[in-house]
């Protein structure tokens, strides 16, 4: 299975390490940004990636939020995979 790839039996993404998260976000041209901490001291991370785009259409921005880089990247990657799945089915 690839980084963050969905497990067809479980229907969920497998957990990523921080290194895998950074690598996946970079591979799709995105960025991971630390957004400070919540009032309770919990860190906040944002993964910003563009959706894959079909020819002739514009991509959109996906925002993944998490308490860790991996959590933010996983949220973004789940949305990215849904868009990719839709594009794959139509082409």
CA–CA dist 33, 71 (Å, integer) = 12
Rg of the Cα atoms in the chain:
14
Span 41-60, average pLDDT: 88
Q: H helices within the chain, ranges in order?
A: 18-27, 69-90
Domain positions in the chain are 18-35+45-50+58-86
**Whole-structure pTM value:** 0.76
Q: Specify whether the CB–CB gap between 81 and 64 falls below 8 A.
A: no
pLDDT at residue 79 tops 50: yes
pLDDT at residue 91 tops 70: no
Token readout for 90 is 């139509």
Q: Specify whether the CB–CB gap between 83 and 28 falls below 8 A.
A: no
């Amino acid at each position: 299975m690839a980084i963050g790839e969905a497990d067809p039996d479980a229907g969920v993404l497998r957990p990523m390490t921080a290194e895998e998260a950074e690598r996946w976000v970079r591979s799709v041209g995105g960025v991971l940004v630390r957004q400070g901490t919540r009032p309770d001291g919990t860190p906040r991370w944002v993964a910003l990636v563009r959706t894959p785009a079909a020819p002739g259409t514009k991509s959109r921005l996906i925002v993944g939020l998490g308490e860790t880089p991996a959590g933010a990247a996983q949220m973004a990657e789940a949305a990215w995979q849904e868009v990719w799945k839709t594009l794959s089915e139509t082409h």
